[in-house]
Structure 1
Amino acid sequence: MKHIIIPTLNEAENIGVLIKQIYQYLDPSDTMILVVDDNSIDTTHDVVREMAQEFPHVKLIVRRNERGLGTAVRKGASLIDEGPVVVMDADLSHHPRHLPAMFQKLSDGADVVVGSRYVSGGGIRGWPGSRVAVSQVATLIAKILFRTPVNDPMSGFVGCRSPKILVDGIDYADFKFLLELLVKNRTLKVGEVPITFQDRLKGSSKLKAKTIGLYLSLVLKLMLESGSRNRQ
Structure 2
Amino acid sequence: MKYIIIPTLNEEENIGELIHQIYQYMPPSETMVIVVDDDSTDSTHQVVRNVSKEYPQVKLIIRKDERGLGTAVRRGAEEVGDGPVVVMDADLSHHPRHLPSMFKALAQGADIVVGSRYVDGGGIRGWPGSRIAVSKVATLIAKIIFRVPANDPMSGFVGCQSAETLTKGIDYADFKFLLELMVKNRTLHISEVPIVFQDRLKGSSKLKAKTIGLYLSLVIRLMLESGSQN
TM-score (norm 2): 0.99
State the partner residue of 1:151.
151
Q: CA deviation at 1:37?
A: 0.4
Structure 1 counterpart SS, 2:48: helix
Q: Where does structure 2 lack aligned partners over 5 or more consecutive residues?
A: none
**Residue 202 (structure 2) aligns with:** 202
- Residue deviations 1:58-102 (CA, integer Å, cap 9, x gap): 000000000111110011011212200000000000000000000
- After TM superposition, the structure 1 = structure 2 runs for residues 163-178 of structure 1, keeping only pairs within 5 Å, are 163-178=163-178
Contact 2:168 2:181 in 1 (8 A): no
Q: For the residues of structure 2 that align with 1:49 and 1:172, how far apart are their CA atoms?
A: 27
How far apart, in 1, do the equivalents of 2:136 and 2:39 lie?
32
Q: Distance in 2 between matches of 1:166 and 1:104?
A: 17
Partner of 1:187: 187
Partner of 1:134: 134
Task: Percent identity, please.
Answer: 77
- Note the alpha carbon deviations across 1:173-200, whole angstroms, 9 max, x for none: 2100000000000011000000000000
Shift of 1:165: 1.3
Structure 1 CA distance for aligned equivalents of residues 146 and 183 of structure 2: 7
Whole-angstrom CA distance in 2 between matches of 1:168 and 1:64: 25
**Does the Cα contact within 8 Å between 2:36 and 2:76 map onto a contact in 1?**
yes
Deviation at 1:158, TM superposition (A): 0.1
1:81-100 equivalences under 5 Å are: 81-100=81-100
Which residue of structure 2 aligns with residue 32 of structure 1? 32
**Residue equivalent to 1:110:** 110
> Aligned partners of 1:85 and 1:169: how far apart in 2?
17
- Deviations along 1:206-229, one digit per CA (max 9) or x if unpaired, are 000000000000000000010011
Matches within 5 A, 1:1-80: 1-80=1-80
* Structure 1 residue 136: Cα displacement: 0.2
What 5-or-longer segments of structure 1 have no aligned partner?
A: none
Is the CA contact 1:83–1:161 (under 8 Å) kept in the aligned structure 2? yes
Q: TM-score, normalised by structure 1?
A: 0.98
Shift of 1:168: 2.7
Counterpart residue identity of residue 37, structure 2: D
| Separation in 2, partners of 1:120, 1:5 | 26
Distance 2:211 2:167 in 1: 24
Distance 1:135 1:219 in 2: 14
Which stretches of structure 1, 4 residues or longer, exceed 3 Å deviation after superposition? Answer: none
**Deviation, structure 1 residue 140:** 0.2
Query: CA-to-partner distance for each residue in 1:88-147, whole Å, 9 max, x for gaps?
Result: 000000000000000000000000000000000000000000000000000000000000
Q: Is this contact kept in 2: 1:36–1:63, CA < 8 A?
A: yes
Task: Say whether the 8 Å CA contact 1:67–1:173 is kept in structure 2.
Answer: no
2:167 is paired with a residue of what secondary structure?
Answer: helix
Please state whether the residue corresponding to 1:169 is helix, strand or coil.
coil
Q: How many residues align?
A: 230
